[in-house]
Homo-oligomer: A and B are copies of this chain.
Amino acid sequence: MTLRSVDRPWEALHDVIASNNMAALQAFLETLGPTETARAISRLSQEDQNQLFALLTPAVAAEVIEDVSEKQAADLIEVLPPKQAAAIIDELQSDLQADLLGEICSESAEAILDEMSPEEAEEARELMAFPPDTAGGIMIAEFLAFREDRTIQYVLDRLQRNRETYARYHVQYLYVRDGQGRLTGVLRMHDLLFPERTRRLKELMIPNPLYIEATASIQDLQAFFDEHKLFGVPVVDSETRMLGVVLPHDVEEAALKQADRQFLGTSGIVGGEEFRSMPLALRSRRRLSWLSINIVLNIIAASVIALYQDTLAAAIALAVFLPIISDMSGCSGNQAVAVSMRELTLGLVRPNEMLRVVGKEASLGLINGLVLGILLGGAALLWKQNPVLGLVVGVALMLNTLLAVSLGGLLPLALKRLKLDPALVSGPILTTVTDMCGFFLVLSFATMALPRLS
């Protein structure tokens, strides 16, 4: 039993669920760490998953939801009756509420919002209005703010009265605002303990606190917390009215999510994440949505070959080199794409600095093109003992490498300016263009040199 519950916890979980014993189920879940919980639940059948959530109280179900990844959580929540889903989501922190509801299809999300408590639903709706990769999108709406003319006594009374609600907040600071709701100061919680109770916040607060606008990017926030070691930063609208608080942990999490999305995007996994516990039809459809665009682009690129069928028939050895030139140019170009995406993320290059990137990549493309061209041309020469074949293949790969790295370096900057996702779009555009040019170069050179090739 011990071994089994470590190695295949979903089997034990299945048994506990089947026993219909809520206390035993809760006890078992507590023995699992977050990773184990996520793994075990992902292996349950749909009926077991439903039965699991039917047995748990909303509070315990919310803890389970916090353990699993966002995508997994959204899938679990989406199939529950809206009333039950709403009860669970009510228990979560506002930023997670908004993230989850954002992952769920909008109809189901609306149905759940209608069943949630009105205040929670309003908060969640407000947070959902911000793009996910901004300060507004990752802030929490649970923060403490008081008007600057309040006394210490008033604040302490309020904290005392609402202590159950506030206990759930990650509170390290207390924010102070003026009559119009504009942020004017900040106090640390322990600043409340020592002064006289009749003094007003205005006299005690640290004025002109640091803040960040709701539109700030994840990279802005990373830079902010790198520079200022704070437990959180207030988020304000364009009139410095306070909207929420961003915690450093959530910034790191958002940066990680961005990096994961980038990785999945360049590999052709669209629509967020894919787990093998998802229904086969969904997984297949999502992957095909990207593949079917790719096959059309591939057919367009390869049609260049069809134009040169006579050349190819006369010098059939060329057919061996076409897939090599296509693949190698793609590889060289993808390296440049990756470097540009990293430099954009780190803020080392800006989308308008295209000239700099092309300059840096073109010189590298010349060197690498020369090396790769000599390698491939040499291989062609050795194989067929034909220097013209070597020259045609080598020069074509050289020129195409130069093109591929320059284009690869540029594409992420250009796509960023066009507000397209470089991770998803760079690859297909790059390989289509470099394939067409590569096929054209090698086959048009071959046509010119045909008498000496065959």
Residues on A lying within 8 angstroms of B by beta carbon are 33-36, 38-39, 42, 66-67, 69, 219, 223-224, 226-227, 248-249, 252-253, 255-256, 259-260, 262-264, 266-269, 273-277, 280, 283-284, 287-288, 290-292, 294-295, 298-299, 301-303, 305-306, 309, 312-313, 316-317, 319-324, 326-328, 330-332, 334-335, 337-339, 341-343, 346-349, 356-357, 360-361, 363-364, 367-368, 371-372, 375-376, 379, 383, 431, 435, 439
A227 and B34 contact, CB distance less than 8 A? yes
B431 and A338 contact, CB distance less than 8 A? no
User: Pick the contact of A342 from B273, B284, B327, B331 — CB < 8 Å?
Assistant: B273
A323 and B291 contact, CB distance less than 8 A? no
Q: Which residues of B contact A266 (CB under 8 A)?
A: 263, 266-267
CA distance A360 to B282 in the complex (A): 13
B320 and A306 contact, CB distance less than 8 A? yes
A275 and B343 contact, CB distance less than 8 A? yes
Q: Which residues of B contact A295 (CB under 8 A)?
A: 324, 328, 372, 375-376
Q: Which residues of B contact A301 (CB under 8 A)?
A: 323
Q: Which residues of B contact A226 (CB under 8 A)?
A: 33-34, 66-67
CA distance A4 to B280 in the complex (A): 55
B264 and A342 contact, CB distance less than 8 A? yes
Q: Which residues of B contact A298 (CB under 8 A)?
A: 323-324, 327-328
B280 and A367 contact, CB distance less than 8 A? yes
CA distance A295 to B398 in the complex (A): 13
Q: How far is the CB of A283 from chain B (nearest CB, A)?
A: 6
Q: Which residues of B contact A348 (CB under 8 A)?
A: 38-39, 42, 275-277
B259 and A260 contact, CB distance less than 8 A? yes
B287 and A343 contact, CB distance less than 8 A? no
Integer count of this chain's copies in the complex: 2
User: Pick the contact of A33 from B223, B317, B327 — CB < 8 Å?
Assistant: B223
CA distance A379 to B226 in the complex (A): 54
User: Pick the contact of A302 from B320, B330, B371 — CB < 8 Å?
Assistant: B320
Q: Which of A38, A291, A323 has the most CB of B within 10 A?
A: A323
A283 and B364 contact, CB distance less than 8 A? yes
User: Pick the contact of A259 from B69, B256, B290, B320 — CB < 8 Å?
Assistant: B256
B347 and A39 contact, CB distance less than 8 A? yes
Q: Which residues of B contact A341 (CB under 8 A)?
A: 263
The answer to whether residues A322 and B323 also contact, given A248-B249, A266-B267 and a CB cut-off of 8 A, is yes
Q: How far is the CB of A437 from chain B (nearest CB, A)?
A: 13
- 6 new A-B pairs (CB below 8 Å) besides A256-B259, A268-B331, A312-B319? A35-B219, A69-B346, A263-B341, A276-B348, A322-B323, A326-B327
A367 and B284 contact, CB distance less than 8 A? yes
CA distance A185 to B320 in the complex (A): 69
The answer to whether residues A375 and B292 also contact, given A280-B367, A360-B276 and a CB cut-off of 8 A, is yes
User: Pick the contact of A337 from B267, B277, B357, B367 — CB < 8 Å?
Assistant: B267
B302 and A332 contact, CB distance less than 8 A? no
CA distance A206 to B169 in the complex (A): 25
Residue of B nearest to A375 (CB): B295
A302 and B276 contact, CB distance less than 8 A? no
B331 and A294 contact, CB distance less than 8 A? yes
B274 and A347 contact, CB distance less than 8 A? no
Q: How far is the CB of A340 from chain B (nearest CB, A)?
A: 9
B319 and A305 contact, CB distance less than 8 A? yes
